[in-house]
Amino acid sequence: MRDVNKVFPKGKKPLEKKIGVLTCYDYMFARILEEAGVDSILVGDTLGVVVQGQTSTLPVTLDEMIYHAKAVRRGAPNTFITVDLPFLSYQVSLEDGIRSAGKVMKESGCDAVKFEGGGPEILELIYKLERIGIPVMGHIGLTPQSVNVFGGHKIQGKAEEDRVRLLNEAKGISDAGAFSVVFELIPSILAGEISSSIPIPTIGIGAGSSTDGQVLVLYDFLGLNKDFHPKFLKTYMDGRSGVFEAVKTYVQEVKEGIFPGPEHSH
């Protein structure tokens, strides 16, 4: 059994060690992440963009999230896995949210769910899910499922009224019973202020270094998208060039009769 309190310790700030989270969507990468010692995996609805080629996360369905989460669980049986609830799987009603979260937990074998926002309806859903035994990770700041409201992927919390709103949302999410909360695209000073004001671990993406941990999208982290270079992203390898050159070499060797050689033949 994967203990949420061991991975996301509550009320122990500053943490002895910060929490390293990566997104993942398939079995093979999940195996690598677990073997490399990642603290936690997020099966994010970002799969709509980086796996499916959609322009946003909005088209992703609940069944698609479960499909990918099951593959990740098979690859990382010992890692704490959180799964995003996709757009309109929890916002319509409290009952829909409970039903969607329960379906994900039952069918994927994940350890927790994550969803966006900090309004009254979201706080009630967090409270209800916690009471029936479903751990919840919150998400505030730039919430991709609301990107059309924000007018694009813009930093949140610059204005004083937004700063106060985000502070209140984070406190509400914590008080409702969430075990952690993601801060996306908010100023680092504000992220530090909010993080120090709540007892649950905070995970940043584009929120500076004052959070209790970080999360990155795996394909961005590996440098697979040559067109995506936000300021907050650090790529840890030039994955695209490596794959590109490997494919070019393979095609050339096949055309020239170099592959397969005698050593590759029965």
Q: What is the CATH number of the domain that holds 170?
A: 3.20.20.60
State whether 161 and 248 are in the same domain.
no
- By three-state DSSP, how is residue 20 classified? strand
pLDDT tens digits, one per residue of 179-221: 999 999 999 999 999 999 999 999 999 999 999 999 999 999 9
Is residue 152 located within the same domain as residue 133? yes
pLDDT digits (tens, 9 = 90+) for 118-160: 999 999 999 999 999 999 999 999 998 886 665 556 799 899 9
Just list the catalytic residues. 184
208 lies in the same domain as 225: yes
Burial 102-125 (b: 16+ CB within 10 A, else e): ebbbeebbbbbbbbbbbeeebbeb
Give which of 99, 125, 129, 91 is closest to 111, Cα–Cα. 129
Q: How far apart (Å, rounded) are the C-alpha atoms in residues 137 and 191?
A: 16
Q: Predicted confidence band at 249 (pLDDT cuts at 50, 70, 90)?
A: very high
Average pLDDT over residues 233-241: 96
Identify whether residues 251 and 175 lie together within a single domain.
no
150 and 244 fall within a common domain = no
- 82 in a known ligand binding site: no
CA distances from 194 to 5, 116, 120, 222 (A): 20, 17, 19, 30
Is 263 labelled a binding residue? no
Q: Are residues 173 and 213 located together in one domain of the fold? A: yes
Check the annotation: does 26 bind a ligand: no
In the prediction, which pLDDT does 147 show?
67
84 is in an annotated binding site: yes
Number of domains in the chain: 2
- Mean pLDDT (the chain) is 95
The token duo for 121 is 């309806």
- Cα separation of 67 and 53, whole Å? 17
Name the residue range of residue 256's domain: 238-265
Residue 82 has pLDDT above 80, yes or no: yes
Token pair in block for residue 27: 């079995």
